[in-house]
């Protein structure tokens, strides 16, 4: 028998615009916008999904004394993703609570990430700390994904000759 993944068409088109600038010898900035439009005849759980708009921007700082850091802001627009009908079926059978059935719509969210570091040993080593999701904007990036929370990370980087 022949296998058919799905019938229908998904046409995803878009564009992206970026800007980078040097505000000072120690300060670089950037901004980015992307847009995508999805038109499709596919139905059910095989539909394509994703945000229509995303915006990113930030600043990178690099000082002669070894201090460095960056601030990056990410905005992701709301999106609708297909969710398997089995979730509703399992809920109807009492196998999972109704609250466990994911919502197809993922609301928009904004992430602010910070990083600071210090280069030493003639820029052969760096000690750094970063904060992902600085303001703890608890959100999902997909209907069945984990709830994203803040995370603090630190590391030591060594450059080998």
Q: Please tell me the distance from the alpha carbon of residue 96 to that of residue 15, in angstroms, as a whole number.
A: 41
What residue ranges in the chain does DSSP mark as E strands?
10-24, 27-40, 53-62, 67-76, 79-80, 105-106, 109-120, 125-132, 151-158
Radius of gyration of the chain (CA): 22
CB 160 within 8 A of CB 146: no
pLDDT of res. 67: 98
* Burial class, 81, CB count within 10 angstroms (exposed 0-12 / middle 13-18 / buried 19+): buried
Q: Please tell me the distance from the alpha carbon of residue 144 to that of residue 90, in angstroms, as a whole number.
A: 15
pLDDT of res. 4: 61
Q: Please tell me the distance from the alpha carbon of residue 121 to that of residue 124, in angstroms, as a whole number.
A: 5
Nearest 5°: the CA angle 38, 44, 49 is 30
Task: Give the H/E segment covering residue 87.
Answer: helix 86-92
Whether the predicted model's global pTM rises above the 0.75 cut: yes
pLDDT of res. 42: 77
Divide the 161 residues of the chain into consecutive groups of 10 and give the mean pLDDT of each group. 69 95 98 93 76 97 98 96 86 89 92 98 96 94 88 96 82
Q: Please tell me the distance from the alpha carbon of residue 150 to that of residue 161, in angstroms, as a whole number.
A: 35
pLDDT of res. 69: 98
Give me the residue spans of the domains in the chain. Answer: 10-114
């Amino acid at each position: 028998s022949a296998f058919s993944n799905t019938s229908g068409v998904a046409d995803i088109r878009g564009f992206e615009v970026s800007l980078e600038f040097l505000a000072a010898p120690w300060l670089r900035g950037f901004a980015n916008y992307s847009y995508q439009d999805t038109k499709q005849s596919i139905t059910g759980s095989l539909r394509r999904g994703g945000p229509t708009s995303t915006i990113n921007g930030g600043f990178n700082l690099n000082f002669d004394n070894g201090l460095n850091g960056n601030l990056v802001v990410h905005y992701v627009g709301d999106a609708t993703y297909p969710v398997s009908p089995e979730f509703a079926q399992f809920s109807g059978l009492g196998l999972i609570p109704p609250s466990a059935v994911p919502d197809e719509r993922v609301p928009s969210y904004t992430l602010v990430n910070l990083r600071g570091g210090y280069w030493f040993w003639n820029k052969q080593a760096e000690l750094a700390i970063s904060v992902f999701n600085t303001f703890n904007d608890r959100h999902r990036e997909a209907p069945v994904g984990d709830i994203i929370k803040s995370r603090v990370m630190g590391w030591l980087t060594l450059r080998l000759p």
